[in-house]
Chain A
Amino acid sequence: MSDQDLKTSVKGQILSISDLPTLPSVLDEVTKLVDDPNSSTEQVAKVISKDQVLSAKVLKMVNSPIYGFPGRITTIQHALVLLGLNVIKGIIISTSVFDMIQKAMSGLWEHSLGCALASGAIAKAAGFDDPEEFTVAGLLHDLGKVVTAVQLPELNEAIIMTVKEKNLCYYDAEKVVLGFGHDRINAWLARHWNLPPNVREAMTFHHHPDRAQFYQQTAAVVHVGDFIVRLFEYGNGGDDQISYFKPAAMKILKLKMKDLEPVMDELSDQFVEISGLTF
């Protein structure tokens, strides 16, 4: 198959995903909450915000044209207010759980949650309003890896083998196997699901924030967040390497390295707090 053919066939398979599974821990927790008539949307939002797949499903739904405001809603809390608990219940009931080996996946779940927390903290340090929007972008930055694992298990296996055998980072291994990375897959998904432009650009450009068109800041925050969470060795993004760091990101955020010190302190506390959470 030529590179172009492979890309077209991969894109078709990625976008045809109809049932994205998640890991059981958050799903169980949120199921209990939505079954309790006294639960508030804030409580449910807080739990869903820990799970990249549930968050993606909720944002995909609220930004679908059916509701009449595609691409407008970024945060889980807002999505829940607009969808209502009834629809959330429907999403929860129809979500299945991974039946493949969970170990690799739970590392990715931790990495994504860690990147979400880090992105929120960095956004605050950079003085941006609405840090929750950056948290969501951080949470979803590796969603393409999950979708690849579900839809293209053989190619995914080949990527993992390449990481091990050639001692590459996951992103470079993807390029060896597929010819492109999860950032490209993210771009397809975000556009197909009408996700808001800031989340879309962060998902697409978190490896190259200077290439983002309108939301360089969001992409830069997630870039730095991805780097920091790997420094802390919290979770696993598919390899055990520290991602390369683009100094351009700090320039975009108008931050100096020493501005990250309080962020690191805050995060080390938060990571201790969530280390009890097992996916």
Chain B
Amino acid sequence: MDKNNDHGLLGLTKQRAILVSPDESLKELLTNIWPEDVIRFELYAKAKGAIEDIFNNPPDLLIIDNRVTDITAAEMARLVKSENVYRQLPVVICFDEDDLVKPWDWNEIEVDDFLIRPFFMPVVRDRINLTLCRALRALDANPLSKLPGNTSIIQRIQSLIDRKQDFALAYCDLDYFKSFNDKYGFSRGDEVLNMTARIIVNTVKSFAGEQTFVGHVGGDDFVVITSPDIVEEACKGIIFSFDGIVPNFYDIEDRKRKSIVSVDRQGVTQTFPLMAISIAVVFNIGGKIKHFGEVSAIAMGLKKKAKENPKSNYVLDRRTP
């Protein structure tokens, strides 16, 4: 086992990997690279038992040796990657040189990387490290905006709470986004979300020297974390830009009318204003909040208040600790 922490995976712990291989020397090699509290390997010589384990308790990494005989490595990879709930699981396949005589169809076998015999320890180590880091980045990014998602947002909030660092969290969402989507279709809706993400990121970034974070919870919900000093300015900037730009995303008649007219399922004609952005801001000053759950609970309450106003606006949580 690596006693000097020289394995390269700093900051990652408690990763669980499944290795499916009849090759004892490969097991030996892998388990010697990382300490057990960084990557713990579960070893299967055959595919059969492994598959059930993978499905019931998906690991953080799956390494399949092409020498496995009962089910082909390709078939195993396909089993995992064809299910949406498992497909984010990074899969590395191990080859003998002869396996690569003909090219593989990587659209068919959607693995993340491969290793080839004879194994050279530094290459194995860094390939797997890279695969894990890449998978973590890809896993949590919102597929539309590429912003970090819930896991990163929660981690960020909890780490600020743990470090007792003051912060402001602004929870942004769009009013009348649904009616826009219903009328114009989801790809026009996606345009609006991409635009909103850019506005939020650039507005927040424009405060020189401030540590900030923007995450995309999903749909039309975004989260901004900044220092309490600049959050109100940031809200004003976001609202100003959003209100100025959003009319461009409507067709010319709706833009002129400043509303959209649609017919609901009951056949009733309804008029909706142009989209607006509502922002609820929660402060954590002097460590009054102990858990990230409190942050989202307060934000949800404030959001209702912000939403009462059909125009873009922000509400600050002014409760004293």
Contact = CB atoms under 8 A, between A and B. Distances in A.
A-B complex is real: yes
Interface of A: 37-38, 40-41, 67-69, 72-74, 77-78, 81-86, 196, 214
Contact of A82 (B190, B198, B206): B198
B249 interface: yes
Given A68-B191, A69-B195, A72-B191, A82 B249 contact: no
A81 B203 contact: yes
Interface in B120-153: 144
Contact of A78 (B144, B191, B241): B241
B208 A72 contact: no
Given A68-B190, A74-B248, A84 B205 contact: yes
Given A73-B245, A78-B245, A84-B201, A67 B194 contact: yes
A196 B247 CA distance: 13
B54 interface: no
Contacts of A84: 198, 201-202, 205-206
A74 B192 CA distance: 15
Contacts of B199: 81-82
A69 B202 contact: no
A38 B252 CA distance: 37
B241 A69 contact: no
Contacts of A67: 194, 198
Given A67-B194, A67-B198, A83-B198, 15 more contacts: A37-B209, A68-B144, A69-B191, A69-B192, A72-B249, A73-B248, A77-B244, A78-B241, A78-B245, A78-B248, A82-B195, A82-B202, A83-B202, A84-B202, A84-B206
A214 B252 contact: yes
30 contacts: A37-B208, A38-B208, A40-B206, A67-B194, A67-B198, A68-B144, A68-B194, A68-B195, A69-B192, A69-B195, A69-B249, A72-B191, A72-B195, A72-B248, A73-B245, A77-B244, A78-B241, A78-B244, A78-B248, A81-B199, A81-B203, A81-B241, A81-B245, A82-B198, A82-B199, A82-B245, A84-B201, A85-B202, A196-B248, A214-B252
Contacts of B248: 72-74, 78, 196
B235 to A, nearest CB: 15
A214 to B, nearest CB: 7
Nearest to A86: B205
Contacts of A37: 208-209
Interface in B182-224: 190-192, 194-195, 198-199, 201-203, 205-206, 208-209
Q: Which of B201, B202, B241 has the most CB of A within 10 A?
A: B202
A69 B248 CA distance: 10
Contacts of A73: 245, 248
Contact of B194 (A69, A83, A86): A69
A228 B248 CA distance: 29
A67 B202 CA distance: 13
A34 to B, nearest CB: 12
B108 to A, nearest CB: 28
A41 B249 CA distance: 22
Contacts of B205: 84-86
Interface string B6-29: 000000000000000000000000
Contacts of B208: 37-38
A67 to B, nearest CB: 6
Interface string B247-262: 0110010000000000
B158 to A, nearest CB: 28
A84 B241 CA distance: 12
A85 B194 CA distance: 18
Nearest to B201: A84
Contacts of A214: 252
Nearest to B198: A82
Nearest to B197: A68
A195 to B, nearest CB: 13
B174 to A, nearest CB: 15
B205 to A, nearest CB: 6
A85 B195 contact: no
Contact of A85 (B190, B206, B249): B206
Nearest to A130: B247
B203 to A, nearest CB: 7
A74 B255 CA distance: 14
A43 to B, nearest CB: 12
Contacts of A41: 206
Nearest to B255: A129
A210 B27 CA distance: 77
Contacts of A72: 191, 195, 248-249
A87 B208 CA distance: 16
Contacts of B241: 78, 81
A89 to B, nearest CB: 12
Contacts of A40: 206
A81 B199 CA distance: 6
Nearest to A132: B244
A86 B205 CA distance: 10
A7 to B, nearest CB: 31
A130 to B, nearest CB: 8
A37 B192 CA distance: 29
Nearest to B145: A68
Q: Which of A72, A73, A78 has the most CB of B within 10 A?
A: A72
B150 to A, nearest CB: 21
Contacts of B191: 68-69, 72
Nearest to B241: A81
